[in-house]
Amino acid sequence: MGIWEPLLFWIFAAGALITSSAVIVLRNPLYCAMALIVDFFFFAGLYVLLSAHFMAIVQVLVYGGAIMVLFLFIIMLLNLRDEDLGETRFSLHHAVAVLGGLAMFFFIGTAISLVVDKGAVAEGRTQAAIVAQADEEGTQAVLIQTPSRVPGLYADLNEDALEAGFKARLRSFEEGTATPADGKYRPFDPNQPFEVPPSLRHQEDRIGTVPGRTGLYGTTQPISVLLVNRFVIPFELTAILLLAAIIGAMIIAKRRVA
């Protein structure tokens, strides 16, 4: 794994926690919006470490760019002054909120630690290192797939294993044993045959679009299959929710201007 990936993780994670706290603590909405933009960039870095390159790009372009620029326009249109924000007062409910947040953080951390078996993770990495040392020519891909105590959730997974799993799903789509709609959302008739787009069909000699490695996992192409099939309903609902928030902000701004 090396030293750079854990180091970058802690830098991005600490930055995300600090900027997220600033969004809540700061009273000036303009400063809160700027802190949120920086927060989006830290989360984009975390997505890159998870090989979710498409999500990192969308996080910066859509949320850190278009959405936040629109929110900044609304905040500047409101033109809130210091006297409009009121004085900073600390009361009992502030202390209760802080204690509740710390308790929730401790509860979530404890739950995650129970899900992940650290011994199994260490054993899987040790076996992968042994395979890598035995393969002097580097022809055998080193896969790390350590399942957690939750079925279907991995405690440790590397990019080689992600790419192998994605290729297996593409084969199942091509063979007709599975479709991207398998799961909770089935927006189209499951009896109709599903045809994998040519750009997504499994090819052993395909050159990936991500610099530094081969494969399609984490790029725009595989995400588009699930986005317009299985997750099309929550995707559209999210768009409606953002539209409602924008309309509400415009109505509030209009009342203040009038």
Whether residue 137 has pLDDT greater than 60? yes
Q: Which domains does the chain have, with CATH numbers?
A: 1-89 (1.20.120.1200), 92-156 (no CATH), 158-258 (no CATH)
pLDDT band at 132 (very low <50, low <70, confident <90, very high): confident
pLDDT band at 211 (very low <50, low <70, confident <90, very high): very low
**Segment (H or E) for 48:** helix 29-49
The Cα 256–Cα 258 span in angstroms is 5
Q: Do the Cβ atoms of 23 and 56 come closer than 8 Å?
A: no
The closest of 170, 178, 167 to 143, measured between CA atoms, is 167
- Supply the Cα-derived Rg of the chain in whole angstroms: 23
How high is the pLDDT of residue 87?
A: 67
Q: Do the Cβ atoms of 209 and 219 come closer than 8 Å?
A: yes
pLDDT tens, position by position, 42-93: 999 998 888 788 888 888 888 888 888 888 887 777 776 666 666 667 778 8
The answer to whether the Cα torsion of 214, 219, 220, 224 is positive or negative is positive
Say what the pTM is.
Answer: 0.64
How high is the pLDDT of residue 37?
A: 92
DSSP state of 240: H
Amino acid, single-letter form, for residue 256: R
pLDDT band at 188 (very low <50, low <70, confident <90, very high): low
The residues, ordered by sequence, that sit 6+ positions from 166 with a Cβ below 8 Å of its Cβ are 215, 216, 217, 222
- Specify the residue for token string 């042994």: 130
| Cβ neighbour number for residue 113 with a 10 Å cutoff | 10
Classify each residue of 115-141 as buried b or exposed e, where b means 16 or more C-beta atoms within 10 Å of its C-beta: ebbeeebeebbeebeeeeeeeeeeeee
| Cβ neighbour number for residue 5 with a 10 Å cutoff | 10
The Cα 250–Cα 232 span in angstroms is 27
The Cα 148–Cα 84 span in angstroms is 51
Secondary structure class of 145 (helix, strand, coil):
strand
